[in-house]
Amino acid sequence: MDVTATTVIGILIYLAAAPVVGGLLTGADRIVSARMQGRYGPPLLQPFYDVLKLWQKENIVVNRQQKVYILGFFVFVIITGCIMFGGGDLLLAVFALTLASVFLIVAAYSTFSPYAHIGAEREMIQMVSYEPMVILTVVGMYMATGSFSAADIARHDGMLFLHLPFIFLGFLFILTIKFRKSPFDISMSHHAHQEIVRGLTTEFSGRDLALIEIAHWYENVFLLGLIYLFFAPVPVVAVAVTLAAYFLEVFIDNNNARLKWQHALGSSWAVTLVLGVSNVVLLAFR
């Protein structure tokens, strides 16, 4: 099959399957979390019911611009995934994801709401925290395979994990921030017990909130796709590790309270410096 066809098929599968997979994972997350807390938990399809419900809600906004910014967030999260699943340049995918986050932050800023403002600033700090590790992850993948293209990396013969064990661990660490899990869910949390008002998304409701939730599913699948790439030559192992990573994050989520932003920034930079940098240096002097 030629490259264009695989690209198109990859993108189409991502567009169609990612929200389903992401939603189901979220449903499983809620069941597992409930069991860890001694509850029974909602049905597996509850996230879809929630989004459907949000979609039918009244259209309430603070200003007319916020919807456009949220749409920008949604579209660019999807473009990010399309770049990766279409076999494109991973650095470009990372930059597209950054653009998406900037849209979300600007949406929160635009509302001129104190709670959203605090959430937006914390979201920025989260970005500063995870971005170096994400870039070094992609850099490490290039150093191991000689290519930035997701297609080439996926087709690479050796298992990436063997070259990038520390980078893999570092990436797992910042994944907690990206998944918005405790202890690093500082800009907004899925858990009611973490905060009184919901940070970044305080002023968003109805369809906007539904879009943010669906974008979150797309984003999660993109991030899990990066995990998959570390073990790509053996698909069974790759899928197993990907799922294990997801449930590790759920486990961490349920065993931690939220930390201050100083800790999020300090610990992620420390982890990046120790694990990310040492792995890059090892590869450089190989």
Partner 1 sequence: MQALLLFLILFPAAVAFLLLATPKGRARQTVVSVSAAVIAAASIILAALVLSRGAPVYFAVGGHAADLLIFAAEVALGVIVTVISIRRKQYLAMALMLAGLIMTVVYEVWLANTVHAESNLFADNLSVVMTLIIGVIGSLIAFFALGYMEEYHHHHEDVPDRSNFFFFIVFAFLGAMNGLIFANNLVWLFFFWEVTTFCSFFLIGYGRDALAVRNSFLALKLNLCGGLAFSAALFFLTLNAHAISLSELHDLPGGAVLLPVALLAFAGLTKSAQMPFSSWLLGAMVAPTPVSALLHSSTMVKAGVYLVIRLSPVFAYVDGGKTVGLFVALVGAVTFLLTSCMAISQNDAKRVLAYSTIANLGLIIVCAGIGNHKLAWAAVMLVIFHAIAKSLLFLSVGTAEHLIGSRQIESMDGLAGYLPRVAAGMVVGIAGMFLAPFGMLISKWATLEGLVDANPILTIFVAFGSAVTLMFWVKWLGKILIVKSAPENVETRVPRTQSLTLAVLSVMTAGVCVLFPLISKYVLEPFIFETYRQIYWQDMNNIATLLIMMATVVVLTVPLVFPGKQERHFRPQYLAGANLAEKEKFHGAMGQDIQISLKSLYLQGIFGESRLFPLGVLSTLILIIIMLGVVV
Residues that bind partner 1 (CB under 8 A): 58-66, 68, 71-72, 75-76, 79, 83, 88-89, 91-92, 95-96, 98-99, 102, 105-106, 108-117, 120-121, 124-125, 127-129, 131-132, 135-136, 139, 142-143, 148, 197, 202-203, 265, 269, 272, 276-277, 280-281, 283-284
How far from chain centre, in Å, is Cα 238? 18
Phi, psi of 89, rounded to the nearest 5 degrees: -75, 125
CA distance 140 to 23: 30
The answer to whether the CB of 90 falls within 8 A of the CB of 84 is: yes
Least separation in angstroms between CB 200 and partner 1: 12
Q: Select 60 or 244, whichever has its Cβ closest to partner 1.
A: 60
Cβ neighbours of 46 (radius 10 Å): 15
Q: Select 42 or 72, whichever has its Cβ closest to partner 1.
A: 72
The answer to whether the CB of 221 falls within 8 A of the CB of 21 is: yes
Least separation in angstroms between CB 154 and partner 1: 16
Least separation in angstroms between CB 153 and partner 1: 13
Least separation in angstroms between CB 236 and partner 1: 30
Strand partners, 89: 149
Q: Select 31 or 54, whichever has its Cβ closest to partner 1.
A: 54
CA of 102: how far to CAs of 19, 77, 99, 178, 241, in Å? 22, 11, 5, 14, 30
Least separation in angstroms between CB 202 and partner 1: 6
Phi, psi of 149, rounded to the nearest 5 degrees: -80, 130
